[in-house]
Copies of this chain bind each other. A is one copy, B any other.
Amino acid sequence: MIERHLARLRSRHEVSEADVALIRGAIGEMRECPAGKTIIEAGKRLESSTLLIDGLMCRYKDMRDGQRQIAEIHVPGDFLDLHSYTLKQLDHNVLSLTPCRVVVLAHADIRRITRASEQLAFLYWFSTNLDASIHREWVVSLGRRDALSRAAALFCELQARLEIVGLAGPTGFDLALNQIELAECLGLTSVHVNRTLKQLRERALVTFRQGRVTIHDLPGLRRVAEFDPAYLYLGKQPG
């Protein structure tokens, strides 16, 4: 059930069997969730954190005029709102982009297991710091990349993150988003995303069609994106 979460943790750090047992002991029952549902609302008091088992979700904020900005895409194995453990309420919403399955961990249980294991406390702090690192890279993308390299950077990030949990290879992955949602990630309009995707296709870098990303030239894509995976802290980490 939480295999992808464990794969994610273990891709970067050692996780003992005792720690795995603690995590397993803390998780609640599995819940299903349809696509397009805001499962966490900004400003609401939270008493638990949610782990994504299957599907895609995102963190977003709405503007007054109805525009939306997505701040992070979540893939299976990610916590959606581990930061609510310290923040108690969130500054953003969380939305399911596809039908999803999740499990819930009560904050009391997170407290219990991070008390019981210094390593788990460390891993989960790391995990929220990794979210922050991803946010920073998006700041750079939105601030300094043009539409083409911005889109390329997003595909590179998702390829790398999905690969960790076994959901992507070097030649592609499933990504059940539409162009509107892509635009909400990239700070563009869906019309311009459409033209940008066309360019990426014509340059034989990547094709995005019907919820599937097909990568024709990963090195080329990374070059266009100016993609440096350092911000994802891939591979075994020190400490």
Residues in A lying within 8 Å of B, measured CB to CB: 42-43, 45, 59, 61, 63-64, 67-69, 71-72, 83, 85-89, 91-92, 115, 118, 121-122, 125-126, 128-133, 135-140, 142-145, 186-187, 226, 230-231, 233, 237-239
Contact = CB atoms under 8 A, between A and B. Distances in A.
Nearest to A126: B86
A56 B137 CA distance: 22
Which of A122, A136, A145 has most B Cβ within 10 Å? Answer: A136
A25 B238 CA distance: 26
B135 A61 contact: no
Contacts of A91: 133, 136-137, 230-231, 233
A86 B129 contact: yes
B144 A63 contact: yes
A17 B71 CA distance: 38
Stoichiometry (number of copies): 2
Contacts of A233: 87, 91
A231 B92 CA distance: 8
Contacts of A186: 143
Contacts of A43: 230
Contact of A125 (B45, B72, B88, B128): B128
Nearest to A133: B91
A136 B130 CA distance: 13
B142 A88 contact: no
B88 A239 contact: yes
Contacts of A230: 42-43, 91
Given A91-B231, A132-B83, A61 B140 contact: yes
Pick the most buried of A43, A59, A139: most chain B CB atoms within 10 A of its CB: A139
